[in-house]
Amino acid sequence: MNDSVLLVIAHGSRDPRHAATVHTLVRAVGVLRPGLRVETAFLDFNVPSVPAVLERLVAEGVREVVALPLLLTRAFHAKADIPAVLREAPPSLRVRQAEVLGPSPLLLAAVERRLYEAGLTPADKGSTGVVLASAGSTDPEAIAVIAETARELRRTGWCAVRPAFASASLPRTEDAVRALRADGVRRVAVAPYVIAPGRLPDRIAEGAAGADVLADVLGPSPELARLLVERYDEALGAERRPVAFTA
C-alpha cells in the first residue's frame, strides 16, 4: 500500500447537493481501492478548505499527498487556483498535483450510463441526438476539449452530438436542442457533462425543456470513481492496476 493520501479537491457550491455528491463519490473511491486514504477539500463555499486539510494531515504525520482536481477540463481553477493554494502547503508535505479528469473514455462511458438510466438503450443511438451540456468556460483549451469530447461521443454511434454550455460560452443547451430538431433528429437527449448538482446544472436542466430525455449529472458513477483511482496512480507514476467495479 502506498502511503500517499489522495486529496480530492472540489470546487464547492452553496447548493448542499454538490458537497453531498462529492462525498458519495469519494466514498466510492475508497471502496475501489481499499487501504487508500482519501480526503476531500473544497476551493470555495464548503468546508473543509484545502489549507485546513493539508495542515491537519501534516499534524497527523502524513508526508505525501496526491492532490486531484475534481474537474473535467483544464481551465482557470486547474491552472491557477489549485496550484496557488497547493504552493502554500506546509514545507514538510510533498504534494503532487494529479491531472484533471478529462478527457477520458471513462467519462464517455459515464455519460452513456446516465443516458441509459434515463430510459434510452443502445438501440436508440441511431435515432437520438445528444446535447453534451457542460458548465462552460472562457478558456479556449477547455472549450476545445468539450468539443472533442462531443465528437468522441458521436463516434460511439449517436446520430448527432452537439456541445452546449450553461455559462461563459455558446451555444446554450436550449439552442443546441433546437439545432438538433432543425436538423431533423427524431429524439433529442440532454446529457449534463458536470459532476455534481448546483446552479449551472440546474440551468442545463431548464434548457433541456424542449428535449425528450434529460440524463442525470455524472455524480458518483462507477466510471468516475475508477477514473479518480487512475489519476491517482498516474500521479505517482505507478503502473495502472485493473480496478473491479460493479455495473
How much is the pLDDT for 139? 93
- What global pTM score does this model have? 0.93
Concatenate the DSSP letters of all residues of 108-162 into one string.
Answer: HHHHHHHHHHTT--GGGGGGEEEEEEE---S-HHHHHHHHHHHHHHHHTT-SEEE
Tell me: the pLDDT tens digits for 188-199? 999 999 999 999
Comparing C-alpha atoms, which of 173, 170, 103, 177 is closest to residue 138? Answer: 170
Mean of pLDDT values over 131-143: 95
Give me the percent of the chain exceeding a pLDDT of 90.
93
In this structure, how many other beta carbons lie within 10 angstroms of the beta carbon of residue 48?
A: 14
Give me the percent of the chain exceeding a pLDDT of 70.
95
When pLDDT is cut at 50, 70 and 90, the band that residue 211 belongs to is very high
